[in-house]
Amino acid sequence: MFQSDLLKDKVIFITGGGTGLGRSMAQRFLELQAKVVIASRRMEVLKATAHELMSATGGEVLPLALDVRDYKAVESALDQSLKHFGSIDILLNNAAGNFVSPTEALSHKAFDVITDIVLKGSYNTTLAFGKHWIKSRQSARVLNIVTTYATTGSGYVVPSAIAKAGVQTMTKSLAVEWAKYGITMNAIAPGPFPTEGAWDRLLPPGLEAKFIDRIPLKRVGEHIELANLAAYLVSDQSQYINGEVITIDGGEWLKGAGEFNFLDVLSPAEWKAMELQVRKANKK
């Protein structure tokens, strides 16, 4: 799909890059000749991922222990990355936390833990990196991973929905404010992509088929599909795209939104009966 050197000489900092979609995006970026920093809380996971990705791609990965909720720690991770690679061209805000629960069952701490990782974590990194880029007069790009329910809202994941909506609004706001510094910013809103982190925490047992039935394409997403979209959005080829939120969900959220979409349960005989009913009504 891409020229093999699409991301040559780019250094990409990925929060939560040790697992799931972050890891898959890191792998794709490395295949396209980028260098990557993967940063999250569990250093042993990051080290194992870095080792596997370097063996698989021949690229260079710097694993860094980081809790994105801690602004000073973010500044220190940025410094360490600059010391190692010389510059950072792209920030990918991918780290997140989530659990499914009736909202009234949540403690205020449960709300804090999710919104702190997702919203505070994303503005901490964006602010620290943005200040650095502006001061050093370097153009740069930010890509934020949100969700489709950042726009629609969703019950049972309310702290996550609130926080992702904040990240989405940050994307649109700073895309305009920081364009004058050569910093552009976009977001991807994925539908369901199986990962250990999301699936174990979010899918009530036995309900996978129900999830898939809601998707017009009748399948979940493949990591490579999202990773290719991310590669395009961090590459120089997409520089004129700024402030966009690109959905990749097989049409899932639109299916839930369209007034008559539920009619796909009708059989051919029921459609015929429907047509006769309409034609009869037209003659009145």
Report the nearest approach of ligand HXC to the CB of residue 203 (Å): 8
Binding stretches for ligand HXC (CB under 6 A): 96-99, 101, 105-107, 109-110, 113-114, 147, 160, 191-192, 197-198, 201-202
123 binds ligand NAP (CB under 6 A): no
Q: Which residues contact 148 (CB under 8 A, 6 or more apart)?
A: 189, 190, 191, 247, 249, 252, 253
Q: Which stretch binds ligand NAP (CB under 6 A): 64-72, 205-213, 238-246, 274-282?
A: 64-72
Among 183, 201, 182, which Cα is nearest to 192's?
201
Picked from ligand NAP, ligand HXC, none, the partner binding residue 42 (CB below 5 to 8 A depending on kind) is ligand NAP
Measured distance CA(26)–CA(37) in Å, rounded: 9
Q: Does residue 28 interact with ligand NAP by CB under 6 A?
A: no
Query: Two tokens at 42?
Result: 């569990």
C-beta of 22 vs 159, nearer to ligand NAP: 22
Which of ligand HXC, ligand NAP, none binds 101 (CB below 5-8 Å, type-dependent)? ligand HXC
Separation of alpha carbons 121 and 70, rounded Å: 8
First-to-last alpha carbon distance for the chain, in angstroms, is 56
Burial of 55 (0-12, 13-18, 19+ CB in 10 A): exposed
Among residues 149, 156, 181, 232, which one is catalytic? 149
Please select the residue that binds ligand NAP; options are 13, 18, 59, 77, rule is CB under 6 A. 18
Instruction: Name which of 40 and 238 has its Cβ closer to ligand HXC.
Output: 40
| Amino acid present at 267 | S
Decide whether 20 or 59 has the Cβ nearer to ligand HXC: 20
3-state secondary structure of 38: strand
Burial class from Cβ neighbours inside 10 Å (0-12, 13-18, 19+) for residue 212 reads middle
Does residue 149 have an active-site annotation?
A: yes
Give the residue numbers marked as catalytic: 149
- Where along the sequence are the contacts to ligand NAP (CB under 6 A)? 15-16, 18-22, 40-42, 45, 66-69, 94-97, 117, 121, 145, 147, 190, 192-193, 195, 197-198
